[in-house]
Amino acid sequence: MVMLTLAAPAIAGSDHSASEPALAAAVQKESVAKAPVLEATKLVINIPSRTLWVYQGSKIVRYFPVGVGRPGFMTPVGDYSVLRKVVDPGWENPYKPAGEIRIVPGQNNPLGTRWIGFLRKGAGEYGMHGTDNPGSVGKFSSHGCVRLKVPDAEALFDMVEIGTPVAVVYEPVLIRPQGDEMRVVVFRDVFGRGMPTAEQVHARIMAEYPNARVDDTLLRKALQQPTERPIPVGALMPTETKATSVQGEALPGSVLLPEPERVSGTP
């Protein structure tokens, strides 16, 4: 986690005074002109896949590879919302005496050019932000925040507003059908929260795709091998279906997307 001291004036959308410490912005410019925010925008961040999906309604319109919390600093799972947006944030090292190590906005700032806060914890704040270390994106690399490449952070910044829902989930198994083939993508359970059983994944597939035919032998084998690549586990019979969760909203794994660029291993 990083810590910063806000400089006056306080950031729009925040109830922090100018003297309160936070994770975003010693020196900041309040929001630049925003692109129109379409109806029902929602962000879903999946920790095992290190991926951020942007939903509009039940449709995924963008996805970004992200760096998430490393072991010992897991990004908190839960339902949140965008609390603040900061252009050109400044950074202060939280593990040093206050004011000892500060980095002003600029090319070498660890937060890049954009900060999107979504969870306050004590005097600090978790957020999505750019990074001066793009090689850390796609890894378990942060102190709990969500890192994006600078261009991606800038694009995401313009897609959200204060109050946009943010869901951080822990789904090590994603459902990825393609054509008439049912596939799953299995990720490592880095934080030891437990893998779903074959029976649970089978039930989820059938709930989303009643026309699926699942080979349980292939499914069990896939769950034992977290390759982070789509693995065939069955077929889809010809019929028109709509994949939904129990809440009636399309799940991240229900939409086939190209695999984001990532680097294997945990730094």
What does CATH list as the number for 4-169? 2.40.440.10
Helix axes 216-223, 198-208, angle to 10 degrees: 120
Say if CB 166 and CB 43 are below 8 A apart. Answer: yes
Pairing of strands 212-214, 102-103: unpaired
Cα 170 to Cα 78: distance, rounded to the nearest angstrom:
9
Phi, psi of 20 (to 5 degrees): -80, 135
pLDDT of residue 241: 44
187 vs 8, 44, 51, 175, 232, CA distance in Å?
Answer: 43, 17, 12, 12, 15
So what's the pLDDT on residue 37?
53
Secondary structure percentages of the chain, helix, strand, coil, to 5: 10, 30, 55
pLDDT at 5: 37
Catalytic residue at 145? Answer: yes
Q: Which of 16, 143, 145, 202 is catalytic?
A: 145
What phi, psi does 180 have (nearest 5°)?
-100, 15
Answer yes or no: 129 catalytic.
yes
Q: What does R_g of the chain's alpha carbons equal in angstroms?
A: 20
Q: Which whole-number Å values give the CA distances from 89 to 101, 144, 153, 193, in the listed order? A: 15, 17, 12, 33
Could you tell me which residues are beta bridge partners of residue 201?
A: none
Q: In the prediction, which pLDDT does 110 show? A: 87
Q: What is the pLDDT of residue 101?
A: 61
User: For residue 259, how far is the Cα from the chain centroid?
Assistant: 15
Give start and end residues of each alpha helix (H) in the chain: 150-157, 198-208, 216-223
Per-block mean pLDDT, blocks of 10 residues, the chain (267 long): 38 28 37 54 97 94 96 96 93 64 74 94 89 95 95 96 97 95 97 96 96 97 96 88 38 39 32
Burial class (CB in 10 A: 0-12, 13-18, 19+), 131: buried
* 137 and 146 Cβ atoms separated by less than 8 Å: no
Q: Are 43 and 55 in contact (CB under 8 A)?
A: yes
Amino acid letter, residue 99: G
- What are the residue ranges spanned by the domains of the chain? 4-169, 173-254
Task: State the pLDDT at residue 191.
Answer: 97
Structure-token match 């490393």, residue found: 70
What was the pLDDT predicted at 7? 34
Are 50 and 140 contacting, i.e. CB atoms less than 8 angstroms apart?
yes
pLDDT at residue number 213: 96
